[in-house]
Structure formats: structure tokens, C-alpha cells
């Protein structure tokens, strides 16, 4: 994904875009079997890759999942508009992304593991939290609490919802919740 320049390619066996393959296999495996059921062996098998190859690239399962989420999220779409529109579209964007197959369950699993794993917490913070915070902060020029708040709310809620995919506890109207949070964050605590 990041070779220096086309002709400066070093000799030796090339990777042949393994990262993308592994990311896809990871998400689909998590979607199918859940975070706990998505064994490193199974992910490797699904990707058609040796387990050791994965561990040569990512130091742990949590790190793989985190990078997988970063890849799945991609850059924040920053609308060329006022701060309130930007805020609203960012929230809807996160909500939509987390609803994609496997993403919510992957989020939940990483967060649970991170509680007992300081190294994973560090990775999570560096790779996921900080970038989006910085980007949105530059635009919105807001105290960070406000931006992080919506991530917390949306991710927390949908993560739970997606985590129950196998046997849904609820069939809540998440869209309504999202719009509610949008109003709450863009208009302050007051009603629409």
C-alpha cells in the first residue's frame, strides 16, 4: 500500500496486496462468526494466507482488527459547508459505517479486549481515535468532548446492536436515534 516509488521497488518476493485480502477476510469472518469466533487461524484460512504471514504484519489480533476498522472507515467525508452540516454528516457517516457487516462486532470485540490490554489501548488510540479527532477538530474548532461524544454514542449503541446480529434482541429504529443525536449535538441540549 505504501511503496516508496515504482522503480525503487526492492528485490525479493512481493506481497501482492495481501493487506486488502486479509482485511476483507477478517471482516467477513467476524461478521459470520463474531469477534470471539473469528480465530486467527480461521481468518488466515479465509484469506488463503499463513497465520505467520499475518503476524509478520500485525503484532496482535486486536491490532489487525483495529487496522481493519481504520481501512473500513476510510477518511472522514468533510462536506464543504457550515460546522453544523459537517457535524451532522459526520455522525451519519459513522452510523452508516458501523452498520456495515462485521464492523460493529469488530468494534465491540476490540473495545472489550482493550480494557485488559494496555498495548491494544495504545494502538486503538493512535490508529482510530486520534486521527478522526484531529481531523474533525481542525474543522469544527470545538472542544474535543463534543466530537468524541458522538463517536461514543453512535459506536456504543450500534456496536451493541450489531453484536447481537446472530439473535437480535431488538429491532430499534436506529435512524431515529441518529437524527436525535444529530439534533442534540448541533443545537446544543435544546430541542429541534
Partner DNA sequence: TCAGTTTCGCTACCGCTGGTAGCGGAACTG
Partner DNA sequence: CAGTTCCGCTACCAGCGGTAGCGAAACTGA
Shortest Å, Cβ 60 to DNA: 3
180 binding a second copy? (CB under 8 A): yes
Output 18 or 45, the one with its CB closest to a second copy: 45
Shortest Å, Cβ 25 to a second copy: 17
Q: Can you read off the three cell numbers belonging to residue 106?
A: 469488530
Q: Which residue has the cell 469477534?
A: 35
Contacts of 111 (CB under 8 A, 6+ apart): 124, 159
Is 114 within 8 Å of 124 (Cβ atoms)?
yes
184 binding a second copy? (CB under 8 A): yes
Shortest Å, Cβ 40 to DNA: 4
9 binding DNA? (CB under 7 A): yes
Q: Which residue has the cell 452540516?
A: 85
* Residues between 39 and 98 that touch DNA (CB under 7 A): 39-41, 48-53, 55-57, 59-62
Contacts of 43 (CB under 8 A, 6+ apart): 22, 25, 26, 29, 54, 64
Tell which one of 4, 13, 115, 189 touches DNA (CB under 7 A).
13
Q: How many residues bind a second copy (CB under 8 A)?
A: 51
* Residues between 14 and 33 that touch DNA (CB under 7 A): 14-16, 18
81 binding a second copy? (CB under 8 A): no
37 binding a second copy? (CB under 8 A): yes
Burial class (CB in 10 A: 0-12, 13-18, 19+), 116: exposed
Q: Can you read off the three cell numbers belonging to residue 163?
A: 453484536
Measured in whole angstroms, the distance separating CA 35 from the mean position of its chain's CA atoms is 14
Stretch that binds a second copy, among 21-29, 48-56, 70-78, 163-171 (CB under 8 A): 163-171
Output 57 or 146, the one with its CB closest to DNA: 57
Shortest Å, Cβ 174 to a second copy: 9
Is 155 within 8 Å of 128 (Cβ atoms)?
no
DSSP secondary structure letter of residue 8: G
Q: Which residues bind DNA (CB under 7 A)?
A: 7, 9-16, 18, 38-41, 48-53, 55-57, 59-62
Amino acid at each position: 500500500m505504501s511503496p516508496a516509488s515504482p522503480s525503487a521497488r526492492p528485490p525479493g518476493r512481493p506481497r501482492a496486496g495481501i493487506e486488502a485480502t486479509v482485511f476483507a477476510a477478517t471482516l467477513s469472518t467476524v461478521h459470520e462468526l463474531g469477534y470471539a469466533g473469528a480465530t486467527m487461524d480461521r481468518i488466515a484460512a479465509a484469506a488463503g494466507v499463513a497465520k505467520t504471514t499475518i503476524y509478520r504484519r500485525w503484532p496482535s489480533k486486536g491490532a489487525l482488527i483495529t487496522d481493519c476498522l481504520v481501512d473500513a472507515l476510510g477518511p472522514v467525508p468533510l462536506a464543504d459547508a457550515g460546522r453544523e452540516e459537517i457535524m451532522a454528516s459526520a455522525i451519519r457517516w459513522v452510523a452508516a459505517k458501523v452498520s456495515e457487516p462485521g464492523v460493529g462486532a469488530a468494534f465491540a470485540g476490540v473495545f472489550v479486549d482493550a480494557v485488559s490490554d494496555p498495548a491494544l489501548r495504545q494502538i486503538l488510540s493512535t490508529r482510530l481515535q486520534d486521527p478522526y479527532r484531529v481531523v474533525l477538530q481542525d474543522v469544527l474548532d470545538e472542544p474535543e468532548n463534543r466530537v468524541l461524544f458522538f463517536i461514543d454514542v453512535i459506536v456504543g449503541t450500534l456496536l451493541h446492536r450489531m453484536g447481537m446480529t446472530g439473535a437480535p434482541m431488538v429491532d430499534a429504529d436506529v435512524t431515529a436515534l441518529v437524527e436525535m443525536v444529530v439534533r442534540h449535538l448541533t443545537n446544543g441540549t435544546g430541542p429541534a
